[in-house]
Amino acid sequence: MSVRRTERAPEVFSEEAMSAEEEAFEAMLMEAAPPTAVCRNLRPSKQQIVPKIPEAVDDFLRNVLQRAGLGRTMISFEEEWYGSAQKLMTQTLRRAGVLLVPDALTHRQLIQGQLDTVHRDTDLLRQEVLHAGERLLRTQRERDFYWLQYQRVAEHKSRLMEDLHQLKKHLQSYRPALRRLEDTIQEALRKKMLLSLKKDRVQNSKALNQQDSQIKKERSIKSGGSGPQDTEAPHSEDTRAPHSEDTEAPHSEDTEAPHSEDTEAPHSEDTEAPHSEDTEAPHSEDTRAPHSEDTEAPHSEDTRAPHSEDTGVPTCSRGPETEHETMETPLSLSYSIRAHKLPISCIHLHPRKLIVASASDDRSWRLWLLQAHGEKVGQMVLTGEGHSDWLSGCSFHPDGGKLATTSGDSTVRLWDFSRGGGCVLTLSHSRPTWGCCFHSCGHFLASCYADRTARLWDLSSQRCTLTLRRHTASVNSVCFLPFSDLLLTCSADKTLALWDARLGVCTAIFQGHQHPCNHSTYSMAGHTVASCDSCGIINLWDIRKPAVSMATVDAGPRAANQVAFSPSGRTLAVACSDGLVRVVEVDSLVSSSLPGHRDSVQSVAFDHRGGTVLSAGSDGLINVWA
């Protein structure tokens, strides 16, 4: 069929015929479609818009001719359509850019695919809704459960708070009674100590009188007529010894009474044995009765002789001359030792040899040989490792054969050089340890901790024999006064305390610092104590007058980390956080600075004669100033 005939065909039929044909075509589609499709057409989705794709032109003409009964016309149309008209239409569609002409079948397939997708999405959404409902129900049940638990916990908390308030009120009522009891106990202990000292004096005086009378008789028998002249010297000694005891006792009940025992020992060689026998009895009753396996409590006269003979360290009578000569010229940096890669926390000099021990944050300690008689400078003698955290301090044993170290791993370790520097003893605690110090007899070790206590360890029984509790903050340093049983501690509570190591009694409190105390030490030459705090303030104290400091030196504003006296007690070295080592003359309080560290200085020490200063800092260097 030609193009003209296709254009004339719509004009042949009337409007009623066209409407009838459309209704018949729709009825045929409904019959051919499945029931679900009919239901789907009856309820179209408002959200989904299906595009209307018209059928092909040749199909439309075939349908019209067939309904009209024009069979021959339809045959002629098909012949011409599949002939020249088909070719012409194909060329025309290609020129127009239309490759496919949609028809009803294609339209149905597209809609069917979209419908399947919608069904799948609907199923998935239905499952998600069911799961969400189950989760919501579970969440509501958990909410109800936790709400009940919260109410129970809140009620329990309110009850505990009420109990706490009641206990606080009850505690407030007990505090005055506890203070009175503590004062009574301290007073009783002081009286007991004084009584024991008086008893010792009486026994010593009796023994001295008996010995002197025997000596007088022997000399009078031997000398004959010259006896009165020979007995004058012993008579003078008899009068001097009681006089010194009588004059020293009234100074102070807390500090001078123990010191008087130290001064009585060297009166005469013949009196040492009776004195030791008479004084051991009261101490054994006080300290050794509960712990029979421990070593006897240290006595001042027992520790004096071994220190002077064994160590060979120059005494105070020989030190001042050499030190006074060297200190007239200013100190200068002699040499440096690269001891550790990490900061050094403490150094300590060997009691006999020119060997210094260093403890560092790298969890190790090392022994370094100082320059003397041409030895190699900075030669490492021995090293030891075993702590699991940074080291805070180190201290040589009085005999020089062992080293004690303290660490942040809450242990104190004892290293024996005769065994190659191996650890022979470990004393454990629950808090970090800041420092330690040996008693001059070598059988006891004192250590200080961050739990506000200081402890005295018996190295023979390897256990704590005494715990000193009075400070209200961390105890930062501990040291024994020379040749005595007095123990000095300083704390972050801004106070210093002097203890009697035999009885565990605090004999004196030094109050005057306005900031936490970092370190304290004693003078070998007298009764002077030095302390430093976190703002660089250095106080000098007299242990006989602890109420007020003798002098104050300002080395601030940075912290002063450690102080050390020279053997003569005339010079004080201070390790400061500003990288300087300050040297203070005790008499004139004139200070000088020694720059040489790139970081804060953590520790200082003097050599045996006091002419050389050793310093160590956070830069890992040990500087030697001479």
**What pLDDT does 199 receive?**
83
E strands, 296-343, in order: 333-338
**What pLDDT does 623 receive?**
93
Please, which residues have CB within 8 angstroms of residue 592's CB and are 6 or more apart in sequence?
A: 330, 331, 582, 583
Q: Which CATH superfamily is domain 319-625 in?
A: YVTN repeat-like/Quinoprotein amine dehydrogenase (2.130.10.10)
pLDDT classification of 81: cutoffs 50, 70, 90: confident
Q: CA torsion 562→567→571→572, rounded to 10°?
A: 10
Percent of the chain with pLDDT over 90: 42
**What pLDDT does 249 receive?**
33
**What pLDDT does 20 receive?**
63
**What pLDDT does 156 receive?**
95
**What pLDDT does 245 receive?**
36
How is 11-36 classified by DSSP, letter by letter? HHS-HHHHHHHHHHHHHHHHHHS-HH
For residue range 84-123, list pLDDT tens digits in order: 766 776 777 677 765 655 567 777 888 999 999 999 999 9
> Distance between CA 191 and CA 197 in Å, rounded?
10
Q: Helical H runs in 69-103? A: 71-80, 86-96
Q: For the chain, give the mean pLDDT.
A: 77
Selected residue with higher pLDDT from 295 and 307: 295
Please, which residues have CB within 8 angstroms of residue 497's CB and are 6 or more apart in sequence?
A: 468, 470, 471, 488, 489, 490, 491, 506, 508, 509, 510
Helices 300-310 and 256-264: crossing angle in degrees, nearest 10, is 50
Which of the given ranges, 252-266, 373-387, 462-476, has the highest pLDDT on average?
Answer: 462-476
**What pLDDT does 50 receive?**
59
pLDDT classification of 288: cutoffs 50, 70, 90: very low
Question: How buried is residue 274: exposed, middle or buried, by Cβ count under 10 Å (0-12/13-18/19+)?
Answer: middle
pLDDT classification of 129: cutoffs 50, 70, 90: very high
pLDDT classification of 155: cutoffs 50, 70, 90: very high
**What pLDDT does 515 receive?**
93
Tell me how crowded residue 362 is: count the other CB atoms within 10 A of its CB.
17
CA distances from 147 to 133, 152, 153 (A): 21, 9, 10
> Distance between CA 73 and CA 81 in Å, rounded?
12
> Distance between CA 23 and CA 211 in Å, rounded?
151
For residue range 486-533, list pLDDT tens digits in order: 999 999 999 999 999 988 899 999 999 999 999 999 998 778 999 999
* 8 A C-beta contact, residue 486 and residue 258: yes
**What pLDDT does 134 receive?**
94
Sheet strand arrangement including 379-385: 344-349, 355-360, 364-369, 379-385
pLDDT reading at 462 higher than 70: yes
For residue range 535-565, list pLDDT tens digits in order: 999 999 998 888 889 999 998 889 999 999 9
For residue range 301-310, list pLDDT tens digits in order: 444 433 433 4
pLDDT reading at 459 higher than 80: yes
pLDDT classification of 25: cutoffs 50, 70, 90: low
Mean pLDDT is lowest, of 129-133, 197-201, 306-310, for 306-310
What are the boundaries of each domain within the chain? 3-102, 319-625
pLDDT classification of 22: cutoffs 50, 70, 90: low
pLDDT reading at 327 higher than 70: no
Mean pLDDT is lowest, of 39-43, 89-93, 593-597, for 39-43
For residue range 371-427, list pLDDT tens digits in order: 765 555 677 888 899 999 999 999 999 988 899 999 999 999 999 888 877 888 888
pLDDT reading at 17 higher than 80: no
Name the token pair of 494.
Answer: 């801004």
Mean pLDDT is lowest, of 46-50, 403-407, 457-461, for 46-50
Q: Looking up tokens 């459309």, which residue turns up? A: 22
Tell me the β-bridge partners of 29.
none
How is 431-479 classified by DSSP, letter by letter? S-EEEEEE-TTSSEEEEEETTSEEEEEETTTTEEEEEEE--SS-EEEEE
| Centroid of chain to Cα 116 | 68
**What pLDDT does 293 receive?**
59
pLDDT reading at 226 higher than 50: no
- Of the candidates 592, 568, 613, the one whose C-alpha atom is nearest the C-alpha of residue 321 is 568
Name the token pair of 369.
Answer: 């040989």
Please, which residues have CB within 8 angstroms of residue 252's CB and are 6 or more apart in sequence?
A: 544, 545
CA distances from 66 to 59, 75, 194, 203 (A): 10, 10, 141, 151
> Distance between CA 617 and CA 342 in Å, rounded?
10
> Distance between CA 51 and CA 476 in Å, rounded?
89
Question: How buried is residue 267: exposed, middle or buried, by Cβ count under 10 Å (0-12/13-18/19+)?
Answer: middle
Q: For 29-38, b where at least 16 C-beta lie within 10 A, e where not — what string? A: eeeeeeeebe
- Using DSSP's 3-state secondary structure scheme, residue 378 falls into coil
pLDDT classification of 31: cutoffs 50, 70, 90: low
Q: Looking up tokens 């030697």, which residue turns up? A: 624
**What pLDDT does 233 receive?**
37
* 8 A C-beta contact, residue 93 and residue 57: no
